[in-house]
Amino acid sequence: MKRRDYLRAAGVAGALGLAGCTGDGGTTESTTATTTTTGSTTAGTTGTASASRTLTVATYPSYVDGSDSPGAWLKERFEAAHDDVTVEWSTPTSGSSNINEYIQRAKQGAAIDADVYVGLNTDELVRVDQELDTQLFATVRDDLTHAADVKEGLNVDPKGRALPYDTGYVTPVVDATTLEVVPETFDDLLQSRYRGDLLAENAQSSDTGKAFLLHTIHQQGADGYLDYWRDLLDNDVRVLDSWDAAYNAYTKGEAPMVVSYSTAKVYAANQGEDLDKYQVAFLNDEGYANPESMAVFSGSERRELATAFVDFLLSEEAQRTVPQLNYQSPATTTGSLSGNFAKYNEEPANPVTFTYDELAGNVTEWVEEWARLVAQH
């Protein structure tokens, strides 16, 4: 539902326009029954209804910034494959969680002017369902041709709404030029030789921080993770706000370990840096998979086109290219990597992750208890 009519405020014109939306108040796009636009073919290079269509895809800014971004590639290829279709990216707010804006819109009955959402973490899907009584996203898995290609263990949504399109593996990255012995297990991190050595991120606001916390819960259990963190904090682990802040402090030599992604060496190799400074340390041979998912808004009037977009992102062609444009690993078995990425990307022997069902009803409390522990320590 696209409503961009302009409301001119009296006496204000030109560049300083007061952009607004007009419309019949009270329509709640997200809650009304879905309107399926039949009559337009999705695979077609031709189309009987040749009216130009715009597919609005909401995502986070860095997914679409720049001409070599995943977003730019997707737009170009998808538009080339579908006549008279324009892909318009929408990046509503900045920050780690854009989904909040759509949850709040659905709650207040404000218009949702996007068809597809790209960049959903599993815990965010949990939050969507926790906050809303209605369905924000439609079930589309059964309408996809490539859904079966998704890697085992990455199928996060039992209801078939969210489909993972890439994944990162979150793990400590270690400067092996400073540390004589690289830690190999979670228990190793508690040794006094690593006192003050680890930089982590805030699980409330950072994806890497949350993934690492979830990994410790996966490892130590919901009953044991707080004790483990108490020991970690006693060993002077630092919990900075964002991955940016933590990684910057790490590269400045403030600490020899940082919670980051298993792609660390790819960046380093691209820049010709000393690879020993970016050693990936999978603890207990595990890495926490943090799949990024996409979903179709149930209020979309272009359901078929939106579904086709989701299917396209799962295709072999897209999975060979798009994940590594985003510095992530492919989500399907058909995907592959190339160049420095193929050479230096590391994947854990045992990827672990929590499914939707495991997170539902738990994750909010887990994170809150953890945050209170850290803040009081």
Partner 1 sequence: MGTTGRTTLSARLYALADRIGARGAFLGTLAVLVVVFYYPVGTVLFAAFSDDGALSLAPLWATLTDPFYFGVLSGVIADPASAPGALVGWVEAGFPAVRTGLFGFTAYLAVLGTACAVLVGLPGAYVLARYEFPGRETIRSLTVVPFVLPAIMVAVGFTTMFGTHGTLNDVLSVVGLRVDVAFSLPLVVAALTFYNAPLVTRFVVAAADTVDVRAVETARTLGAPRWRAFLDVVAPQLFPSFLASVLLVFVFDFMAFPIVLALGGLRLATVEVWIYSLAANLDLGEAAALAVLEAAVTLGVTYLYLRYERRGGSGTAGARVERVPLVGPPSLGRLLAAAYAVVAAVLYVGPLASMVAESLTRAGGFSLANYAFLLAQQLGTGGARPTVAVQNSLLFAVGAVALAVPMGVSIAVVTNRSGRLARVGGALLMAPLAVSGVVTGIGLLQGLVFGVDVLGHHIAVTGPVAIVAAHAVGGYPFVVRNVAPLLARVDDDLVAAARTLGAGPARAFRDVTLPLVAPGVVAGAAFAFAISVGEFNATIVLARDTASYTMPVALERYLSNPSVGPYLGPAAAMGTVLLCVTAVSFVVVERLGGRWEP
Structural contact between residues 326 and 263, judged by C-beta atoms closer than 8 angstroms: no
Which member of 24, 133, 142, 180 binds partner 1 (CB under 8 A)? 24
9 binds partner 1 (CB under 8 A): yes
Which member of 58, 74, 103, 257 binds partner 1 (CB under 8 A)? 103
Which member of 74, 325, 331, 359 binds partner 1 (CB under 8 A)? 325
Q: Is 42 or 324 the residue whose CB approaches partner 1 more closely?
A: 324
Binding mask 105-124 for partner 1 (x = CB under 8 A): x--x-x--------------
Q: How far is the CB of 51 from partner 1 (least distance, A)?
A: 24
Question: Beta strand pairing status for 85-90 and 53-58?
Answer: parallel
Q: How far is the CB of 135 from partner 1 (least distance, A)?
A: 17
Of 247, 160, 131, the residue nearest 199 (C-alpha): 247
The greatest distance separating any two alpha carbons of the chain, rounded to the nearest whole angstrom, comes to 70
61 binds partner 1 (CB under 8 A): yes
Q: Is 103 or 140 the residue whose CB approaches partner 1 more closely?
A: 103
Size of the site for partner 1 (CB under 8 A): 82
Q: Is 164 or 307 the residue whose CB approaches partner 1 more closely?
A: 164
Of 154, 131, 178, 122, the residue nearest 295 (C-alpha): 122
Binding mask 174-203 for partner 1 (x = CB under 8 A): ----------------------------x-
Q: Is 12 or 222 the residue whose CB approaches partner 1 more closely?
A: 12
Q: How far is the CB of 64 from partner 1 (least distance, A)?
A: 6
Which member of 93, 134, 145, 177 binds partner 1 (CB under 8 A)? 93
How is residue 14 annotated by DSSP?
G
Residue 278 buriedness (CB in 10 A; 0-12 / 13-18 / 19+)? buried
Token pair, residue 355, equals 């499914």
What CA–CA distance (Å, rounded) separates 92 from 102?
Answer: 9
Q: How far is the CB of 49 from partner 1 (least distance, A)?
A: 29
Site for partner 1 in 70-89 (CB under 8 A): 70-72, 89
254 binds partner 1 (CB under 8 A): yes
Residue 150's DSSP bridge partners are: 332
Site for partner 1 in 271-300 (CB under 8 A): 271-273
Residue 351's DSSP bridge partners are: 287
Binding mask 117-156 for partner 1 (x = CB under 8 A): ----------x---x-------------------------
92 binds partner 1 (CB under 8 A): yes
SS3 at position 122: helix
Structural contact between residues 2 and 302, judged by C-beta atoms closer than 8 angstroms: no
Which member of 251, 333, 338, 350 binds partner 1 (CB under 8 A)? 251
For 121, left (φ over 0), alpha (ψ -120 to 50), or beta?
beta
Which member of 8, 22, 350, 357 binds partner 1 (CB under 8 A)? 22
Residue 45 buriedness (CB in 10 A; 0-12 / 13-18 / 19+)? exposed
352 binds partner 1 (CB under 8 A): no
How is residue 190 annotated by DSSP?
G
Residue 332's DSSP bridge partners are: 150
247 binds partner 1 (CB under 8 A): yes
Which member of 33, 38, 48, 68 binds partner 1 (CB under 8 A)? 68
Please state, in angstroms and as integers, the Cα–Cα distance from residue 51 to each residue in 35, 39, 110, following that order: 18, 11, 27
Q: What are phi and psi of 75, to 5 degrees?
A: -60, -50
